[in-house]
Amino acid sequence: MYSTKMVTVLVLGLMAASAMTLEAQNNASINVTAAVQQPITVTAASPLDFGTVFPGVPKGVALVSGSAGRFTVTGQASAPVSLSFVVPANLTFGVGNNLPITFTGSWNGINDPAGAGVGFAGVTAATFSGTGNLYVFLGGTVTPSVSQAAGAYVGTVQMTVTY
Amino acid sequence: MRVSLTIFSLVLGSALPLAAQQNGVFQIRDLAFGTVFPGVSSVISRTDAANSGRFDLSGKKNRDVQLTFVLPAVMTRTGLPAATLPLAFGANDAGYSPTQAVGNQTVTWDPRAPQTLTLPNTPNPKVSIFLGGRVNPAVNQPAGSYTGTVVLNVVFF
């Protein structure tokens, strides 16, 4: 009986010794969160159309004209964006026929050209409306020379919108 | 002989719970990227006082701890349509502060790998772990709220 009790004490002691150095583990977790905004979509709604033009007679299209160009843009409501443009210096017809052109522009959160002006040499700051809409209007002036060749002149305006 | 055995058992029974209570890891703050835009990557620094993730640790002075993160590769969109938002972690995105100050991180590391630290040699030390990261939304990333979970496993030696 004496031997059995001594063994029991010894075993308990060994268990205690190993328990004192046992590693304690813990863990915790946190969330990672993000809110992705609406992507931007740009639509070329209306071309800028100067119609019939006569040599030597400049012709302009106002922003309020039904012939003004228009882009419609959708995205995240009330989000700020940057507008940038690539515009031609001339409309062209065939080979070597250039019709000089200059541009005017405006942007608005509603379909109304009476908004803020845009610049074509750099970046223009704009803002989506509370419903996620943005309208950009284009006007301009063509200046044909007195010897301007007759024909259908065309050009392209590229607009980029970024958050 | 019987009395001696009883006393020994009582001593053994009280030792383990006291050691366990002094060690702990606690979630304090989510890693919040806030508003992000399709096609535009967004980074939160571990030194961002408001948006970095944070865990607090308590332990025994001058003891080692091993930290291992379980990091998600993507966040998941809430609701339909289902979508995932890529999430990335890299060098120096995790930081340790012995003073629990986001501006005083004395050790930084890549949270994709385990890190062993030594707790300060002060009574009942409390320290903080901070976490930053990057999200990379696609240009056609569906709008909405995205979430993920980061787990920090701690081994106290």
Specify if A100 maps to a domain: yes
List the one residue out of A102, A98, A103, A104 whose CA is nearest residue A145.
Answer: A98
Specify if A35 maps to a domain: no
Please compute the mean of the pLDDT values over residues B83-110 and round it to a whole number: 97
Please say whether the beta carbons of A89 and A144 come within 8 A: no
Q: ipTM score here?
A: 0.86
CA atoms of A82 and B40, how far apart (whole Å): 14
Specify if A12 maps to a domain: no
Residue with the larger pLDDT of the pair A163 and A88 = A88
pLDDT tens string B148-157:
999 999 999 9
List the one residue out of B32, B20, B56 whose CA is nearest residue B145.
Answer: B32
Please determine, for residue A73, whether its predicted confidence score (pLDDT) is greater than 90.
Answer: yes
Task: Select the residue of A8, A32, A37 nearest B143 (Cβ to Cβ).
Answer: A37
Residue A24 pLDDT class (50, 70, 90 cuts) = low
Residue A163 pLDDT class (50, 70, 90 cuts) = confident
Residue A54 burial (C-beta neighbours within 10 Å; 0-12, 13-18, 19+): exposed
Query: Are A28 and B26 inside 8 Å of each other by CB?
Result: yes
Please compute the mean of the pLDDT values over residues A131-140 and round it to a whole number: 97
Identify the sign of the CA torsion A112, A117, A118, A123: negative
Instruction: Name the CA radius of gyration of chain B, rounded.
Output: 21
Domain that holds residue A155: 41-162
pLDDT tens string B100-132:
999 999 999 999 999 999 999 999 999 999 999
The pLDDT score that the predictor gives to residue B139 is 87
Please compute the mean of the pLDDT values over residues A122-145 and round it to a whole number: 97
For residue B13, what are the contacts with CB-CB under 8 A and spacing of at least 6?
none
Specify if A75 maps to a domain: yes
Please compute the mean of the pLDDT values over residues A20-44 and round it to a whole number: 85
Specify if A8 maps to a domain: no
Q: How far is A27 from chain B (nearest CA, A)?
A: 4
A34 interfacial to chain B (CB closer than 8 Å): yes
The pLDDT score that the predictor gives to residue B17 is 46
Please say whether the beta carbons of B131 and B148 come within 8 A: no
Contacts B148 to A, Cβ<8 Å: 31-33
- Which of the residue ranges A25-29, B39-43, B153-157 would you say has the lowest mean pLDDT? A25-29
Domains of chain B, start order: 21-156 (2.60.40)
CATH assignment of the domain containing A91 = 2.60.40.1090
The pLDDT score that the predictor gives to residue A23 is 56
Please determine, for residue A1, whether its predicted confidence score (pLDDT) is greater than 50.
Answer: no
Please say whether the beta carbons of A157 and A86 come within 8 A: yes
pTM over 0.80: no
The pLDDT score that the predictor gives to residue B68 is 98
Q: How far is B85 from chain A (nearest CA, A)?
A: 9
Residue with tokens 């607009």: A159
Query: Are A37 and B37 inside 8 Å of each other by CB?
Result: yes
Domain count, chain A: 1
Q: Closest chain B residue to A22 measured between Cα atoms?
A: B157
CA atoms of B144 and B83, how far apart (whole Å): 9
Cβ-based contacts under 8 A for chains A and B? 146
Please determine, for residue B143, whether its predicted confidence score (pLDDT) is greater than 60.
Answer: yes
Tokens of A2: 């004496």
A41 interfacial to chain B (CB closer than 8 Å): no
Beta bridge partners of B74: B86
Query: Are B140 and A26 inside 8 Å of each other by CB?
Result: no
Q: Closest chain A residue to B148 measured between Cα atoms?
A: A32
Distances (CA, A) of A56 to A98, A132, A147, A148: 13, 43, 7, 8
Specify if A127 maps to a domain: yes
Specify if A1 maps to a domain: no
